[in-house]
Amino acid sequence: MKTLLALRALDFQRIIIMIIVLKPDTTPAEIEHVVERIHQLGLKPHVSTGEHRTIIGVIGDENKLQAQPLQAIPGVEQVLPIMKPFKLASREFSKKDTVVSVGKVKIGGGALGMIAGPCAIESREVLNEIAGHVKKAGANILRGGAFKPRTSPYSFQGLGEEGLKILRSVGDAHDMPVVTEVMDPRQIPLVEKYTDMFQIGARNMQNFDLLKEIGQTKTPVLMKRGMSATVKDLLMSAEYVLSEGNPNVVLCERGVRSFEDSTRNMLDMSAVPNVKGMSHLPIIVDPSHATGRPDLIPAMAMASVAAGADGVHIEVHSCPEKALSDGPQALLPPKYAEVMKQIRKLAELFGKTY
């Protein structure tokens, strides 16, 4: 038991414990020297270069730094401890909002990621038709699942690589970057070959092996909040990806389970400003999975933008009654176009673009 507790204590220590703020006029050689010194201490640096200055997050054992006069290194202006359990995702690490680029589309910093498409890729013809509708309405990222995590093993599980090929082809034809779900670390090379953005579904938000592997890529990540996860849990999962070197994380509020049964989940709209206060990462909202009801999606989509979300994720299908996955919660193309007109007005009001 003592050994187990000692190991747990050691794991707790091996986190980012401080930020080194460098002076505005720090030279590349001085930055390299600071990084080299951090490595010499057996620690791991995360360098973030801004417009005016560079900061370095330090991961490691707190005990190794207690006696180290890092403030005395040339080019160092300030050394700050980080108290939050999520370090790289915290506002302490970056006061400036992160902007994630997905192909030519930017998410965050006033730019909205408007993601739309069917739950599952069913055929080239169906996806192409839907893509044409959502692109015309104003969507800038096409979504579609090739690997589908389903509650029942007998439900449609997706087309696999054939679905990925269809998604890539249709996305290119409509000049839209694409996002699709990855469920297993073994799928990463295959999915990365075809997609512009990985989606981590709610069921995999705490699949830590998957998160660590994705963190070793540079492909942007859309991370959905787990069905029973707190906001802190979501940010800690994002931390896994960030700590492995991938800074391109977009969070997604998609509702959590509750006692309420008139909607699929309970949409936690407060999560948007809550995350904004604690983290620099962009956050979007998925009202489709949150409500499970087409009649509620328009209002919740507009409320998401008003709350400060960096985008909206909506499922759209040209014939929901024939959809192989989540048809009942998909909007018809005309309704989606109507919602997008209203969102465009809100975006202008709040100084956001897409």
pLDDT in tens, 64-123: 666 567 888 889 998 887 778 888 899 988 889 999 999 999 999 999 999 999 999 999
In contact, 58 and 81? CB cutoff 8 Å: no
Provide the pLDDT for residue 95.
Answer: 87
pLDDT class of 5 with cuts at 50, 70, 90: very low
- Of 3-7, 73-77, 126-130, 335-339, the poorest mean pLDDT is in 3-7
DSSP conformation class of 321: G
Q: How far, in Å, CA of 123 to CA of 125, rounded? A: 5
Domain 13-81 has CATH 3.30.70.1140: yes
Provide the pLDDT for residue 65.
Answer: 64
Alpha carbon 283 to its chain's center:
7
The CATH-assigned architecture of domain 100-349 is: Alpha-Beta Barrel (3.20)
Mean pLDDT of 198-212: 96
2: pLDDT strictly greater than 70: no
The two structure tokens encoding residue 248 = 């391109």
Q: Domain coordinates of the chain in residue numbers? A: 13-81, 100-349
Contact residues for 152 (Cβ-Cβ < 8 A; gap 6+): none
pLDDT class of 12 with cuts at 50, 70, 90: very low
pTM of the shown model: 0.84
Surface-to-core class of residue 217, CB atoms within 10 Å of its CB (0-12 exposed, 13-18 middle, 19+ buried): middle
Mean pLDDT of 186-203: 96
| C-alpha R_g of the chain | 21
Mean pLDDT of 3-7: 34
| Per-residue burial over 31-69, b = 16 or more CB atoms within 10 Å of its CB, e = otherwise | bebbeebbeeeebebbebeeeeebbbbbbbeeeebeeee
Q: How far, in Å, CA of 252 to CA of 257, rounded? A: 15
Of all residues in the chain, the percent with pLDDT exceeding 70 is 91
14: pLDDT strictly greater than 70: no
Q: How far, in Å, CA of 161 to CA of 121, rounded? A: 11
pLDDT digit string, tens, across residues 226-241: 999 999 999 999 999 9
Provide the pLDDT for residue 156.
Answer: 65
4: pLDDT strictly greater than 60: no
Helices (DSSP H) in the chain: which residue ranges?
Answer: 2-13, 28-40, 124-137, 161-173, 188-194, 208-215, 231-243, 271-278, 287-291, 297-307, 333-349
